[in-house]
Amino acid sequence: MIRGKDVLTSQALLKQTNKRVTEAIAKILNSAVSNAKQKGLTESQLYISKITADQGPMWKRYRAATFGRATPILKRTSHLTIELDLITK
């Protein structure tokens, strides 16, 4: 949804989208923008060149089952990566 768009537009899209995951993506995007500001760039110079969600570690938990047994539960996590690049004209 936000890949290939500039930072200001993507922040506005994330603010208007009614999904729970947009809060996490907006937080990561703001972190990437602040890292770019430390290097002397501004928000208007940047766009999102790549955004990926990769598989993270799985938490292994167990739930009680019938006859005194246990059933495994895999709580999956993910790694979000956002790459910013300069807008070339």
- How much is the pLDDT for 81? 95
| Architecture of the 7-86 domain | Alpha-Beta Complex (3.90)
pLDDT of residue 89: 72
Q: How far apart are CA 2 and CA 79, in angstroms?
A: 17
Q: How much is the pTM?
A: 0.81
Query: Which residue positions in the chain have pLDDT lower than 70?
Result: none
Three-class SS state of 29: helix
